[in-house]
Amino acid sequence: MKHINRIVCFFLLIISSYAQSNIEHNNGSYYFTDRVVVKFKDVPNNLEEILSKSNIKKFGLIEKSNTQSKIFKKIRKSDKIHTFFFSSPFNPVFISSEISKLKEIEWAEPHYLYEVTLTPNDSIYLAGTLQHLPVIQAEQAWDINTGSGDVIIAIIDTGVDWEHPDLEANIWHNPNEIQNNGIDDDGNGFIDDYVGWDFGGLDGTPDNNPKEDKADHGTLVAGLASAVTNNEIGVASIGYKTKIMAVKTSQNDLRSDLGNALIAYGYEGLKYAADNGADVINCSWGGYNYSYFAQEIIDYAIAKGALVVAAAGNDNSKDKFYPASYDGVISVGGTNYVDQKASWSNYGIKIDVTAPGVNVTSTWQDSPFYHATSGTSLSSPIVAGLAGLTFNQFPYYNSLQIGEQIRVNCDNINNINTGFTNLLGSGRINAFKTLSNQNSKSVRITNLEFIEIGDGDGIFESGETVKIIPEFTNYLTALTNFSISLSIDNNNAAIIKSGGSIGSLNTLESIIVSDFFEIKISDSAPENFDLNLLLTYSDTEYNDFEWIELNINPTYQIQTTDNLSLTFNSTGSIGFDDYPTNLKGKGLTYKDGPNLMFEGALIYGTSVTTINNVARGFDANQKDMDFRIVTPITLNIPGNFADKEIYAKFDDAVSSSALGLET
């Protein structure tokens, strides 16, 4: 290895960018510039002392006593999650990473905002036909069940025109709240939330009127889930007479670069819906940034008995889109009226179902009060509306069973969508089959473990064998002859053990299968590759599948001694390999303690204008990428000079200020 002056300098990056506005848009993500969300490992009784450690107090963090900062408390009867505001010129991504170093902190992250998943079209008045309803066999389903006012679908969105003549009769009213008396009658923390709640208002001040600030999105979504049906006006909806809970989570003065409303308080709204009895929660919005915080809120909602349904996104992408890709969420892709994938719809291994989303007509807040447009924003509430009927048809099912009842009764559309086989979930929803099939079967993985059989470093690399140990849960009708097989559609791994027969599995019974599945990673497998493995399930009159994913040959290694653990990657970064998500790697830990470092990087140069690095630049969400991998990182046990050695080679050939150095 060549060294610059025989010295290689690694150091923590403290560069940050500062936006003058209240929100910032970086690398596809929107987030507030003045706040971070923090989860403590234990209930903190000494906040001042904790925040003073490591000079964290310099950021000017305070916890405001308002609804936004208080809503996440009392999760699982604790006060572990807090929102902190600050006025210092530091980026919240950087502040989050600094706060996360404290031993008392489990995680910290920016407060993200999300774009609605709408692809605009021209506005039209209802002409008399709603093509999406015949496609999903809605009329046949209504012969079985037309829903109930006891079932509630929460619309977490830009607000709902709860006085719209085609929605008003289906609007949820808080039964324990007296309207406009200025008192929090039910003690839920929200005064006069008789028809729902507005978390954002015009300028960040919440209120009890969840109507849209202007016609944006939410009223359209609400009408698809459960506009009043058979009332001789306007549109019909799959939800028929299921109730709509209006939860406004946008703020009128916070908008995207294109002027569209942003979902600023989506997870506040999601928790509100779960706490106030929503059976189904629809999220027609999202983004590509993973959030520990969001997954916790979704877990909380599921534990409270709610089914979360979310739009899969409109970028024709197979990347994971959130909240649709979180565990426990029904992810909904979009199709046209002949079951073809909509050209804009996302797809991939996390999609559960699809529903019509092309040129769909629904309620609208402004005249002429009906509007036609496209997007998975529309597909998602159609599924949510069906979920409302399904809750009424199967009142003894829990929320996950409701989701599975919908999923396994879809119409398979693989043959219509060449190139997207098994990437559009189980297919396009079928309302009639969902409500009429009393003997549906469904198995899903509820826990998954990968065991490396190789050099023992916990990294899955070429030439190594991987043992796969899943836990399966049967959600619906008991199985009598259940079997599973494993397949791979590429040459990056070979199957050693491909599955077998389990036999019987009762309803809601789980089983851990420890000796069914084993693969060997190919010597020629690429770096940092997400290996998709397909599990195929079968039983009498039951065929199903599920994807699992394994990252192989990652471009990082974790160097661990008796007391110290440190992650290095192939191009000079230390701490983590996937900034800013920070899921790949373990940072720097000592004696199994908390992580002490999130950002470390190699930087060298000959002048202020000739600097090469892989550190974070002016874009707070993106690293500079001045180095190219020559030899991927490897861990040698034993090494030439130590018991464990990590080796990598890279150069600066891809840099605009290349110095011709190889390190």
Domain definitions of the chain by residue range? 4-114+555-651, 117-436, 443-552
Q: Which of 15-19, 61-65, 455-459, 519-523 has the lowest mean pLDDT?
A: 15-19
CA 580 distance to own-chain centroid? 16
Is residue 520 very low, low, confident or very high in pLDDT (cuts 50, 70, 90)? Answer: very high
Question: CATH fold of 117-436, please?
Answer: Rossmann fold (3.40.50)
pLDDT in tens, 30-78: 888 888 888 888 777 776 676 666 556 666 677 665 444 444 444 433 4
The whole-number average pLDDT for the span 430-438 is 97
Whether residue 10 is predicted with pLDDT greater than 90 in this model: the reply is no
The whole-number average pLDDT for the span 614-620 is 66
Q: Which of 140-144, 174-178, 343-347, 575-579 has the lowest mean pLDDT?
A: 575-579
- And the tokens for 92? 């919240």
Is residue 95 very low, low, confident or very high in pLDDT (cuts 50, 70, 90)? Answer: confident
Residue 322 confidence (pLDDT): 95
**CATH superfamily to which 443-552 belongs:** Immunoglobulins (2.60.40.10)
Residue 366 confidence (pLDDT): 86
Rg of the Cα trace of the chain?
26
The whole-number average pLDDT for the span 236-244 is 96
Other CB atoms within 10 A of residue 619 CB:
13
Which residue numbers are catalytic?
A: 157, 217, 377
Residue 594 confidence (pLDDT): 67
Give the separation between CA 290 and CA 618, rounded to whole angstroms.
22
Q: Among 15-19, 22-26, 190-194, name the most confident range.
A: 190-194
Q: Percent of the chain scored above 90 by pLDDT?
A: 56
Is residue 568 very low, low, confident or very high in pLDDT (cuts 50, 70, 90)? Answer: confident
CA end-to-end distance (rounded Å), the chain:
6
Residue 441 confidence (pLDDT): 97
Whether residue 638 is predicted with pLDDT greater than 80 in this model: the reply is no
Q: 0.85 cut: is pTM over it?
A: no
Is residue 118 very low, low, confident or very high in pLDDT (cuts 50, 70, 90)? Answer: low
Residue 556 confidence (pLDDT): 75
Give the separation between CA 130 and CA 147, rounded to whole angstroms.
19
pLDDT in tens, 355-399: 999 999 999 998 788 888 999 999 999 999 999 999 999 999 999
What contacts 24+ positions apart, CB below 8 Å, involve 53-57?
Answer: 53/102, 54/98, 54/101, 54/102, 56/98, 56/99, 56/102
